[in-house]
Structure 1
Amino acid sequence: MLEKVEGFVNEPLPRKFLFFDEMITPSLVQAAYWLGLVCVIWIGLEKLFHGGFFGIFEAVIFVLFSSIALRVIAEMVMLFFKMNATMEVVAKNTTPAPVSAAPTPKPVRKTRKKVSKKVTKKTGGE
């Protein structure tokens, strides 16, 4: 039984999926974008046919702004994943700095206030 599980895990697709070797969210974001675009067009057509005279303007403005907003949101999410991939490449190409002993700080010398040797005389109350 254990051999079957190990064989399943060592296959490329399950290994990528189970051990996070590859991100699947970018593909899901693209699918969600297309589904969202279909929904925006569907709602725009509904506004066009059921909105009366002003429904035409409302539908055009809704479809235009909603499709742009949907695209910007999808691109921002994809940008985070591309930044992650770029940082992984940078991390692989960067050699870590050698660990050296931290320099010991110099002891702080406490200084005393210099007291004047002059003695001030108090004058008696006249």
Structure 2
Amino acid sequence: MYIEEVIIDGFKSYSTRVTVGPFDRQFNAITGLNGSGKSNILDSICFVLGISNLTQVRVGNLSELVYKQGQAGVTKASVTVVFNNEDKQASPVGYEMHDKIIITRQIVIGGRNRYLLNSHNVQQNQIQNLFHSVSL
């Protein structure tokens, strides 16, 4: 299982939907000018992985992850990570039948937070269990 692409919308410096990818299975590099959002791509992946220590993504609370904290008319942040799951030997337990695993995390100004797994609402612990089954 590896990251195929990341879709960022309203997250930190990304006001509109941006797709980053496709990623290579073995090696990738993110380049750009200072302030162009390179670190925020990595922060968005950590957000989907369920990071709980927000200081690691340089914010004090979840609402700071929304583009300009909602001041620019953007009221939610959404990050989707598409995992290629074609290698069934490296597949998470219970997901061997899926060639792609799509995980989305959304946060809305005011604190609502939700996860989607292959377009279905799930609890954060289900996402954590999926990642634990592949030693992440």
- TM-based fold match above 0.5: no
Judging by fraction of residues, say which structure has more helix. Answer: 1
**Normalization by structure 2: what TM-score?**
0.19
**Normalization by structure 1: what TM-score?**
0.19
User: Larger relative CO (CA 8 A, sep 6+): 1 or 2?
Assistant: 2
Judging by fraction of residues, say which structure has more strand. Answer: 2
